[in-house]
Amino acid sequence: MAGRKQFDVEAALDAAMIQFWSRGYAETSIDDLTRATGLNRSSLYSSFGDKNSLFVRCLQRYVARYGKRFDEALANADAPPLDAARSFFAVTMDRIADPDVPDGCLVVQSAMAIPVLTPKAVERVHEAVNIQLTRVRAALRRAGLPETAADELAVHITAVNHSLAVMSRAGANESQLHSIVNVTLDALATVLAA
Amino acid sequence: MAGRKQFDVEAALDAAMIQFWSRGYAETSIDDLTRATGLNRSSLYSSFGDKNSLFVRCLQRYVARYGKRFDEALANADAPPLDAARSFFAVTMDRIADPDVPDGCLVVQSAMAIPVLTPKAVERVHEAVNIQLTRVRAALRRAGLPETAADELAVHITAVNHSLAVMSRAGANESQLHSIVNVTLDALATVLAA
DNA sequence: GACATCCTGGACCGATCATTCCAAGATGGA
DNA sequence: TCCATCTTGGAATGATCGGTCCAGGATGTC
């Protein structure tokens, strides 16, 4: 059972990511990770380093994967800005509806745990939140909004997006999640119409 | 050093609540709790039961304390509905600005940790979220909004309120937090004007 | 076919976890 | 004053934690 790697690194990272996402850093043990990935301790440590390194890598993976989807949702230059915003939220709604993946959001969960994360992990969380903020603000600017309006709406939209993670974990149904988004979309529509 | 209780139960509960609030259930050890409260293990266990029981009690305490303030903010029947909403958010903003108390929100943090909480704790979290939703919806109805609008706005407002906890933990400044709230207040103003 | 290299299984480590227990001491009522 | 009652300090328990280590075996190269 040795010689060359016996497992798929990408699949193992996905499994670890889902484990952290579902239960958080503190409540995920090395044994949990070996069970989830199918790897044993030696392989886990030799391939990914210690628990915190693996966690940071999973965070990066999460940010890259869904960041790409958010970018795509906002990128369609032909679509009206309001549709772009709708698509943006749809990324999160689809993720929540995806049965292969936990509720909530790894970034939001990690943000709430910042006081007990390592400095490296904290840095990644801050980075993730700022990237999202920048992404949304840039899209609003492209849609023609002045800077102050774009700043205000961007932070509101990212915050509301995070709130979907909280509410989905708290048991909100799809209709409630849509209500949360709709009020924000209405507000955006009002600003765009002005 | 014995005979009758040597400590103030209320103060001990406050200290434990702040400990859980700051670091979460999983990352709060019994030793942390003894340090924070000044009690030793025996006193802690004999007064409050096990760790989970103490946590549930702290959750209830948190919900009662801030729930009272939310109620007060929404209760002023003379104030225009928009001012009531502003006061509602101000409860959270003041809590975040309070240096004696951690950032974030014990309920939001616990909601994100639902998959690893005990059934009793999960029940309390659901209860807390529902109480808040009911509170806001009732206030909107009192302000004259029709049922569907009140439902939609209530879930949006409570979600945005939760997002303040996430964003404060993620390092957002006061101006950004105000932006988050302002967009929602504008949306509410639009609906109230209709 | 032999060897250096690398991966894997699982034992092992000290630290820390939540919880229990008991002896010692302080209390208040009789 | 004495005793039943309750609190307190701290030791002890068994489980689990993250992390290390090494022997054994598979691999690819020569």
List pLDDT tens digits, range A151-175: 999 999 999 999 999 999 999 999 9
In this complex, the answer to whether residue B120 has its CB under 7 A from any atom of chain C, a nucleic strand, is: no
How many beta-carbon pairs under 8 angstroms link A with B?
138
At B3 the pLDDT is: 59
Residues of A within 8 A of B102 (CB-CB) are 115
d(C-alpha A161, C-alpha A140), whole Å: 15
Q: Which chain A residue lies closest to B160 (C-alpha atoms)? A: A160
Taking the C1' atom of every nucleotide in all shown strands and the CA of B6, the nearest one is D7
Number of domains in chain B: 1
In this complex, the answer to whether residue A47 has its CB under 7 A from any atom of chain D, a nucleic strand, is: no
Mean pLDDT score of chain A: 95
Q: Name the residue facing A179 among B109, B156, B186 (closest C-beta).
A: B156
Residues of B within 8 A of A89 (CB-CB) are none
CB within 7 A of strand C (chain B, 52-81)? 52
| 3-class state of residue B58 by DSSP | helix
Taking the C1' atom of every nucleotide in all shown strands and the CA of A51, the nearest one is D18
Tell me, yes or no, whether B179 lies in a domain. yes
d(C-alpha B17, C-alpha A111), whole Å: 19
Tell me, yes or no, whether A147 lies in a domain. yes
pLDDT at position A1 over 60: no
CATH number for the domain spanning A181: value is 1.10.357.10
At A156 the pLDDT is: 98
d(C-alpha B168, C-alpha B164), whole Å: 6
Question: The tokens 């001012």 sit on which residue?
Answer: B83
CA–CA distance from B8 to each of A77, B20, B31, B63 (Å)?
63, 19, 19, 21
At A15 the pLDDT is: 97
CA–CA distance from A29 to each of A60, A117, A181, B160 (Å)?
20, 15, 35, 33
At B194 the pLDDT is: 76
| Mutation target among A32, A112, A184 for the B interface, most CBs of B within 10 A | A112
> E strands of chain A, at which residues?
none
Residue at minimal CA–C1' distance from D5?
B3
Domain extent at residue B163: 60-193
Tell me if A116 and B23 make a contact (CB, 8 A cut-off): yes
> Does residue A122 sit at the B interface (CB-CB below 8 Å)?
no
Residues of B within 8 A of A151 (CB-CB) are 179
d(C-alpha B59, C-alpha B53), whole Å: 10
In this complex, the answer to whether residue A1 has its CB under 7 A from any atom of chain C, a nucleic strand, is: yes
For the stretch A41-64, pLDDT in tens is: 999 999 999 999 999 999 999 999
Q: Which chain B residue lies closest to A150 (C-alpha atoms)? A: B179
Separation of CA B20 and C1' D4 in angstroms?
A: 38
Tell me, yes or no, whether B7 lies in a domain. no
Tell me if B26 and A24 make a contact (CB, 8 A cut-off): yes
Per-residue pLDDT tens digits of chain B, which is 194 residues long: 555 677 899 999 999 999 999 999 999 999 999 999 999 999 999 999 999 999 999 999 999 999 999 999 999 867 888 999 999 999 999 999 999 999 999 999 999 999 999 999 999 999 999 999 999 999 999 999 999 999 999 999 999 999 999 999 999 999 999 999 999 999 999 999 87
For the stretch B109-144, pLDDT in tens is: 999 999 999 999 999 999 999 999 999 999 999 999
d(C-alpha B16, C-alpha B22), whole Å: 10
CA–CA distance from A13 to each of A60, A91, A137 (Å)?
11, 21, 31
For the stretch A54-103, pLDDT in tens is: 999 999 999 999 999 999 999 986 788 899 999 999 999 999 999 999 99
At A5 the pLDDT is: 75
